A and B are shown apart, each in its own frame.
Chain A
Amino acid sequence: GIQVEQSPPDLILQEGANSTLRCNFSDSVNNLQWFHQNPWGQLINLFYIPSGTKQNGRLSATTVATERYSLLYISSSQTTDSGVYFCAIAFTGNQFYFGTGTSLTVIP
């Protein structure tokens, strides 16, 4: 069946550190997005990245569709980066499958 797996499940960083979050998936993708769920529960769209590399400030993402993974890089982390990071993927239908998330805590 369809699988979307994220690693690590939990991550604690000192402010200023860099991190890499990974999303592995089991099938060819039509759509891949990265979301940040903030402490208030809002899902913030970070990247729409079914393939290739994108950068937005301190964040960047890379999807290698042929090898079925995507990476989210966070550089110079800040306490406001804390929260849960989800990848969400659409395969053949219109349903988007969410990964289990990476819970990030950035400590000052």
Chain B
Amino acid sequence: EPEVTQTPSHQVTQMGQEVILRCVPISNHLYFYWYRQILGQKVEFLVSFYNNEISEKSEIFDDQFSVERPDGSNFTLKIRSTKLEDSAMYFCASSDRGRISPLHFGNGTRLTVT
């Protein structure tokens, strides 16, 4: 069964550094998402991406965040200047028809900011 893959599985970075989290969505999917989960809390929406542009974003997704689909397979989340409170599990997801089809999640990247 096709799956969403995320790399790295764990990243440690120092406060103020830039990080790029990488995702390869399922190949025929058209809608892409980033979610995050702070330890012990619920899963929070960050951004959705369709047709090479952001379709929705949450209040969490401020100017320090950006997303990109640099080629036909990768989908990235960049955090420009990390803060301690950015420490979380970041999940990438994809679906083929947006809200009327199932979301498929990757295994997540655990980001630790020190």
Considering only CB atoms, which chain B residue lies closest to A35 in the complex?
B105
Task: Check A43 against B42 for contact (C-beta < 8 Å).
Answer: no
Q: If the complex has contacts A43-B43, A96-B33, are A33 and B102 also in contact, measured as CB distance less than 8 A? A: yes
**Which of chain B's residues 19-50 have a Cβ closer than 8 Å to chain A?**
31, 33, 35, 37, 42-45, 48, 50
User: How far is A98 from B42 in the complex, measured between Cα atoms in Å?
Assistant: 7
At the interface, yes or no: A57 with Cβ under 8 Å from chain B?
Answer: no
At the interface, yes or no: B89 with Cβ under 8 Å from chain A?
Answer: yes
Q: If the complex has contacts A41-B110, A43-B91, are A95 and B45 also in contact, measured as CB distance less than 8 A? A: yes
**With a CB–CB cut-off of 8 A, which chain B residues contact A101?**
42
Which one of B55, B98, B105, B107 contacts A45 once the chains associate, using CB atoms below 8 Å?
A: B105
User: How far is A4 from B27 in the complex, measured between Cα atoms in Å?
Assistant: 31
User: How far is A93 from B56 in the complex, measured between Cα atoms in Å?
Assistant: 8
Q: If the complex has contacts A42-B107, A42-B108, A45-B105, are A94 and B43 also in contact, measured as CB distance less than 8 A? A: no
Most-contacted residue by chain B among A30, A35, A95 (CB, 10 A): A95
User: How far is A56 from B108 in the complex, measured between Cα atoms in Å?
Assistant: 25
Q: If the complex has contacts A86-B43, A94-B48, A99-B42, are A48 and B99 also in contact, measured as CB distance less than 8 A? A: no
**With a CB–CB cut-off of 8 A, which chain A residues contact B101?**
31, 48
